[in-house]
Homo-oligomer: A and B are copies of this chain.
Amino acid sequence: MKFGGTSVADPEKIQRAAERAVAEKHRGRAVVVVVSAPGEMTDELLTLADRVVPGKKDPRELDQLVSTGEQVGISLFALACQARGAAAVSLTGPQAGIHASGRPTHAQVERIKTKRLLSELSAGKIVAVAGFQGLTPNGDVATLGRGGSDLTAVALASALKTGVCEIFSDVKGIYTADPRIVFEARKLKEISFEEMLELAGAGAQVMQARSIEVAERFGVRIQVRSAFHPQAGTWIVPKEDSVLEKAQVSALALDKSEVRLSIVDVPDRPGVAAQVLSTLSNAGIAVDMIIQSAPAGGKNNISFMTPRGLGHKAQQALSGVAKRLGARVDLHEHVAKVSAVGTGFRHHPEIASTMFDTLAEHKVNIHMIAASDLRISVVVDAKHGESALRALHKAYGLGRR
């Protein structure tokens, strides 16, 4: 079981989460719980660090600092389990035998030595493990980067061969579209790893792509469910298990967290796109939906999407290349990415045409299009994002059945 930060944000929520762990224990199961830092604690610690040292900081010391958030979470969680009559113990990442490698703040789980975990479990204890952290070869604690607690949970499920990992959060599962925007949105019973990965890429913030990949690789079935409601959530399952074999749209996503960058009037000659992409990759800038327009007058435009926070950095990084090429870099901030995720798109062009027909009907201009067998994404004006999502949800017949 993994409880995210919002699920343990205050003492009452910690108590409720602990109750669920204790209930599982009473059903005769061995229970390992991965706990995140309560509420905003991680951000509060980072703010504190900024007040001591503004600007760039040693990532090793930041890891030493922020890893305390999860440590607070697990000890409170274990205490709450004990108060409900269950034996429980908390273990930090290092104590739980989670060995990590790579650079601080972006470490990877290298391996898990399960000795301590197994001995606590066989002593009948609920084991609360700190998410998001591991032990480095030289005895330091390193954090696993964004979504790291999910990764801890999936890696533990794999190492302990539980087969199953439940991710508890403030969402009830995976929906056909964000239910805050689309009233008819329906919770899916299951979704394939592939579709879930595409949804993550399309901006759905339920789980990070990294954890989904690891779960798929090691055969861990994930259930995404609510920390506050008892109902079943959505199972993320291997493709062969999925009922969603035929071509169909499973879910939609709306992502307003990205901006669009265009390099305008690039000469139409080989190697230019590669030059642009290597510049971005050297600057550590993630991109999505790279589109090269058809050349006109010996000139091209290259456009891509990048996280909002990296927009200006990307613009700067590209300014040198653009100058040499006699091009200019435009930044478009008021954009939204709308995506349909499913299977079999390649052989069913009607899925794409439904999208374009629907958007045209609603007079939504499309800035960019990218499509694969599992996803079609379009970039539209930000102001059209929600209405496009609602129209497409209806057009694809995704509503409650």
Chain A interface residues toward B at CB < 8 A? 11, 14-15, 45, 48-49, 51-53, 57-58, 60-62, 64-65, 67-68, 71-72, 74-76, 78-80, 82-83, 89-90, 92, 95, 116, 139-140
Contacts and interface: CB of A to CB of B under 8 A. Distances in A.
A52 B76 contact: yes
Contacts of A52: 11, 14-15, 76, 79-80, 83
Residue among A48, A52, A67, A90 with the most chain B CB within 10 A? A52
Contacts of A60: 89
B64 A48 contact: no
Count of chain copies: 2
A51 B80 CA distance: 10
Contact of A68 (B58, B72, B95, B140): B72
Contacts of A116: 139
A61 B49 contact: no
Residue in A68, A75, A80, A92 with the greatest tally of chain B CB atoms within 10 Å? A75
Contact of A76 (B48, B75, B79, B89): B48
B48 A61 contact: no
Nearest to A76: B52
A278 to B, nearest CB: 32
A45 B73 CA distance: 11
A11 B51 contact: yes
A15, A49, A53, A83 interface centre (most CB from chain B within 10 Å): A53
Nearest to A18: B52
Nearest to A67: B71
Contacts of A82: 53, 57-58, 61
19 contacts: A11-B51, A11-B52, A15-B52, A48-B72, A48-B76, A49-B76, A52-B80, A52-B83, A53-B82, A53-B83, A61-B78, A64-B74, A64-B90, A65-B71, A65-B72, A65-B76, A67-B71, A95-B139, A95-B140
Contacts of A72: 45, 48, 65, 68
